[in-house]
Structures are given as C-alpha cells and as structure tokens.
C-alpha cells in the first residue's frame, strides 16, 4: 500500500521538503562539530539484516552519507548490549527496523505518554513521510572504529577520528530533527543485566544526549521512545529534569566532568537564546533550574536577596514578583530554583501559594495544578515543601483531573512534611500506616 494512501488527504498537500514541526535548531550551533556527521538512509537501513555493520564496512559499500542541513535526520540514542559491540546479534536493530516500518505504514501510532495523553500535539501525519525519506544516525554507523587490522588502515588516524566524532555527539544531536530513544528490554551480554528505559535513562552519556536535544532551540524538542516493535510514545517531559548528567553512570569516570560541562553549555545557551528571543516565562523557568541541576547546593544555600531575585527573573520590583499571575510568577520562580527563604518572603507579602498553574504543560506541569503539586513533581527538597506549607499552601486542593498533592508524593520526607502540617483524612488508614512507619523509622522507599 502506498504511503500517500496510508496517510490520507492530510499529507497530500504537504511539501516534500523535510521541514516543519520537527525542524532543526534555528540558530548557529551551540556545540562544535569536530568530525563530519555520517548518516544512513532509513530506506537502506530497513533493508539490512543481522548485527549492524561498522562504520568502515558501510563506508566501503557506499551506504554512509555526510550530513547536509537539508536532510531530515533521526538521532538514535541507545545503550550498548556488549562492551565490544553495541548489538552483537542485531536484536536492537531488529526492533528498530520493525518499529520504523510500523510507524511509516501507520500500523503503529506515536502515542502520548500515559501522564500527558490528554494534552499537547500528537505526532504529525506528515512525520511518517519525513521518516521514510530521512536519514538515521547511530553511533556504530557514524563513528570510526578499529575493529580489525587491515592493509592501508592507519589505526592512529582512526582513533583520532573516533575521538573527534565522540566529542561531536552533542552537535549531532543538535542538528537532528527527531531524537529517538531505543529502549526495548534486552539483556546485556557480559553483565546479564536488563537494558531498558530505566537503565538507558541512568547512563550519563544518554542523559547528555537527551539534554542536548531538550535544551536545543528546535521548534519541537519532545523525545520519542521505542519500547517494542508496536509501542512507540513521546517521553514524559519531566524525565530529563529528574535525571541530571552529574549523577549519571559513566563507564569511564573521567568523562563525567567533561560531559557535565556539555550539559551546562546547553542550558546556558538555551537561557541566552530565550533572554534575547523570549518567551519570558521560558527564560524564567530554565534560569530557575541552574542551581538545582548543577551546583547541587542545599535549598538553604540557594537563598538569594530580593534585589537579586527580581533582577535574575526580570520582575520590575519585588512587589511585581509578589503580584505576578503569569505562567512563571514569583512563587514558581522561587519554587523551581529551590529557594525556600524566597518562598517565605513572597508568602509574607501575601503572594498566592495556591495559584493555579497555566501554560507549563509542555514542561510536564499541567493547567490547574498548584505550586505544591509542582514542588512535589519536581522533587524539591524538604525545606521547599515546608516553606510552601508554612505559607498556607493547601494540600487538599484538587487539579482538574481530581488529583491531590498526596497522589504526587514520592519520598518519605515529603510524606512527613505533609502529615506534620495537615490532616490527610481523605486517605484514612493509608496515612495512619505511613505515620506509624515514620514513627518506627522503617520507611525507606515510597
């Protein structure tokens, strides 16, 4: 069946240019490309079988193409299944081929994740056409390797090119149109551990790739994850915020400091771009993330003066920060920055600690939720939760989907904060049990 027939009339009038919703970054690259980006046509990849071939073999067969700006590129982020080869039996590649075929022919829809399925744009119909005519970046394809001694091969040059290509991965992510996490559950050949979405998200380099995509200036920075041949969905927007690069797992420990700096560069560039181009709410949100994501100080150490606060978040004065009702008002700026003392100062001036959130759905915070809900979802420290409760944040308020704060609690400390300040009678025996656990000092994980 032809692609146009599958897609229907909604694609009939689409331009053949690979632009639109999934455009590449609209400004000069933040990250430097030290080595050319090599990609494989999706159509060629779909014809391959078995374990993925290495860079040199694909190059010899004429299947590698050097990236050009007009190409529509899918960056595939994945976890290696072996120390020497990413996919010794071609299991990951098989899943990827099947999933791509299913998306292209319409068998599989790219679904919203369970939490956000009611909001945000879906996968565009023309996206299937772009994928079918696009190119694939996979590290094993794109990065030169010394896999065997061969006549005429200068191994030192290959190693040097490989190092440059690895350094260029953030730039490769930045120019790609779609970021795809390949996270089908498979067993690692040496360790025996299961490689899946959770393990992929725990890897420092995978987090760095994710951050470089999410913090780029592309029109659409959502992430698509492939869980199986038939399960393809957008990743929940909060996942990257909960997984800092600095706490990721690195095979080579010396990579940590270098890769953290790549993430810092990506965030600083994002803030600089938003500072110049807007919107203001986005500038405030990403500016607020810096202390928690990189400095890793306690909430008490993040406290700042009112003057510095209004300058950083661009309020006319402190009174304006108190009275602001925009998507990123004063309360939310202090909350996401983890500044408990600033929350208290705002509350003492009667800033609304129960104002309903709006306009932050693309970041994972849904309309009608409250600042306390946002604090719990963003996994703020106990001092921040306590400050909100002290300033009259109401744990009993419900969102439009009837969610209460108690549903969003993810740590024993947060339960203790809430139960200390409020009576959670709606949970009855469940709260009594939690209280008993705390009294017995036996709560470790919730």
SS (HEC) of 45-96 = HCCCCCCCCCHHHHHHCCCCEECCCCCCEEEEEECCCCCCCCCCCCHHHHHH
Q: Is the residue at 444 inside a domain? A: no
Q: Looking at 269, 290, 321, which one is the last position of a domain?
A: 269
Residues 181-192: pLDDT tens digits?
A: 999 999 999 999
Higher-confidence residue: 399 or 17?
399
Does residue 204 share a domain with residue 163?
A: yes
How far is Cα 54 from Cα 275, in angstroms, rounded to an integer? Answer: 42
Look at residue 426 and tell me whether its pLDDT is greater than 50.
Answer: no
Task: Look at residue 219 in the predicted model and tell me its pLDDT.
Answer: 84
Q: Output phi, psi for 28, to 5 deg.
A: -60, 150
The chain-wide mean pLDDT, for the chain, equals 84
Centre a 10 Å sphere on the Cβ of residue 152 and count the other Cβ atoms it contains. 4
CB neighbour class for 60 (10 Å; exposed up to 12, middle 13-18, buried from 19)? exposed
H-assigned helices in 182-227: 197-202, 204-214
CB neighbour class for 292 (10 Å; exposed up to 12, middle 13-18, buried from 19)? buried
Does residue 284 share a domain with residue 265?
A: no
Collapsed DSSP state (helix, strand, coil) of residue 437: helix
The angle subtended at Cα 273 by Cα 214 and Cα 75, nearest 5°, is 30
Q: Is the residue at 149 inside a domain? A: yes
Q: Is the residue at 31 inside a domain? A: yes
Task: Look at residue 417 in the predicted model and tell me its pLDDT.
Answer: 66
Q: Is the residue at 365 inside a domain? A: yes
Q: Is the residue at 424 inside a domain? A: no
Residues 207-250: pLDDT tens digits?
A: 999 999 999 988 889 999 999 999 999 999 888 988 989 899 99
Does residue 289 share a domain with residue 225?
A: no
Q: Looking at 252, 269, 286, which one is the last position of a domain?
A: 269
Does residue 257 share a domain with residue 154?
A: yes
Does residue 263 share a domain with residue 312?
A: no
Percentage of residues in the chain having pLDDT higher than 90: 61
Task: Look at residue 316 in the predicted model and tell me its pLDDT.
Answer: 97
Look at residue 167 and tell me whether its pLDDT is greater than 50.
Answer: yes
Give me the CATH number covering residue 360. 1.25.40
Compute the Cα dihedral for 144, 149, 151, 152 and give only its sign.
Answer: positive
Does residue 121 share a domain with residue 265?
A: yes
**Residue 19 pLDDT level (bands cut at 50, 70, 90):** very low
Q: Number of folded domains in the chain? A: 2
Task: Look at residue 117 in the predicted model and tell me its pLDDT.
Answer: 52
Residue-range definition of the domain harbouring residue 320: 278-408
Q: Is the residue at 429 inside a domain? A: no
Q: Is the residue at 400 inside a domain? A: yes
| Cβ neighbours of residue 404 closer than 8 Å, sequence gap 6 or more | 395, 396, 397, 398, 426
Does residue 294 share a domain with residue 264?
A: no
Look at residue 28 and tell me whether its pLDDT is greater than 90.
Answer: no
Task: Look at residue 9 in the predicted model and tell me its pLDDT.
Answer: 35
How far is Cα 235 from Cα 113, in angstroms, rounded to an integer? Answer: 6
Tokens linked to 66: 């050097």
**Residue 418 pLDDT level (bands cut at 50, 70, 90):** low
| Of residues 284, 239, 235, 283, the one with CA closest to residue 120 | 235
Higher-confidence residue: 432 or 165?
165
How far is Cα 427 from Cα 79, in angstroms, rounded to an integer? Answer: 41
Does residue 220 share a domain with residue 299?
A: no
CA 416 to chain centre: 29
HEC-encoded secondary structure of 378-415: CCCCHHHHHHHHHCCCCCCCECCCCCEHHHHCCCHHHH
Q: Kindly give the interhelix angle for 280-290 and 330-337, rounded to the nearest 10 degrees.
A: 30
Does residue 32 share a domain with residue 62?
A: yes
Q: Looking at 217, 238, 269, which one is the last position of a domain?
A: 269
Does residue 236 share a domain with residue 308?
A: no
Look at residue 392 and tell me whether its pLDDT is greater than 60.
Answer: yes
Does residue 295 share a domain with residue 257?
A: no
Q: Is the residue at 418 inside a domain? A: no
Does residue 26 share a domain with residue 146?
A: yes
């Amino acid at each position: 069946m032809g692609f146009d027939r599958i897609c229907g009339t909604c694609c009939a009038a689409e331009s053949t240019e690979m632009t639109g919703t999934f455009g590449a970054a609209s400004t000069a690259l933040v990250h430097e490309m030290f080595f050319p980006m090599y990609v494989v046509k999706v159509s060629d990849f779909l014809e391959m079988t078995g374990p993925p071939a290495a860079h040199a073999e694909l190059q010899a067969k004429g299947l590698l193409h050097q990236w050009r700006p007009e190409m529509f590129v899918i960056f595939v982020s994945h976890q290696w299944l072996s120390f020497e080869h990413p996919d010794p039996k071609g299991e990951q590649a098989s899943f990827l081929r099947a999933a791509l075929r299913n998306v292209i022919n319409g068998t599989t829809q790219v679904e919203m994740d369970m939490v956000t399925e009611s909001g945000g744009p879906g996968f565009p119909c023309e996206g299937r056409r772009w994928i079918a005519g696009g190119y694939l970046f996979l590290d094993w394809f794109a990065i030169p390797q010394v896999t065997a001694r061969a006549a005429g091969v200068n191994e030192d040059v290959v190693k040097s090119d490989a190092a440059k290509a690895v350094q260029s991965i953030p730039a490769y992510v930045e120019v790609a149109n779609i970021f795809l996490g390949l996270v089908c559950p498979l067993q690692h050949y040496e360790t025996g551990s299961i490689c899946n979405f959770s393990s992929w998200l725990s890897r420092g380099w995978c987090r760095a790739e994710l951050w470089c995509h999410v913090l780029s200036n592309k029109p659409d920075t959502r992430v698509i994850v492939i869980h199986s041949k038939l399960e393809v969905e957008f990743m929940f927007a909060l996942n990257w915020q909960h997984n800092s690069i600095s706490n990721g797992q690195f095979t080579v420990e010396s990579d940590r400091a270098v890769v953290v700096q790549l993430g810092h560069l990506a965030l600083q560039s994002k803030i600089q771009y938003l500072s110049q181009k807007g919107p203001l709410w986005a500038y405030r949100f990403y500016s607020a993330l810096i202390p928690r994501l990189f400095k890793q100080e306690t909430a008490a150490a993040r406290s700042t003066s009112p003057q510095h606060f209004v300058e950083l978040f661009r309020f006319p004065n402190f009174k304006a920060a108190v009275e602001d009702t925009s998507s990123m008002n004063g309360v939310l700026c202090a909350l996401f920055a983890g500044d408990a003392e600033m929350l208290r100062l705002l509350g003492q001036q009667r800033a609304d600690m129960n104002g309903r959130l709006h306009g932050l759905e693309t970041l994972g915070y849904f309309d009608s939720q409250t600042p306390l809900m946002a604090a719990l979802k963003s996994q703020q420290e106990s001092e921040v939760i306590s400050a909100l409760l002290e300033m009259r944040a109401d744990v009993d308020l419900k969102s439009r989907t009837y969610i209460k704060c108690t549903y969003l609690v993810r740590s024993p400390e947060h339960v203790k904060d809430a139960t200390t300040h409020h009576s959670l009678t709606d949970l009855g025996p469940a709260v009594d049990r939690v209280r008993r656990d705390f009294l017995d000092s036996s709560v470790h994980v919730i």
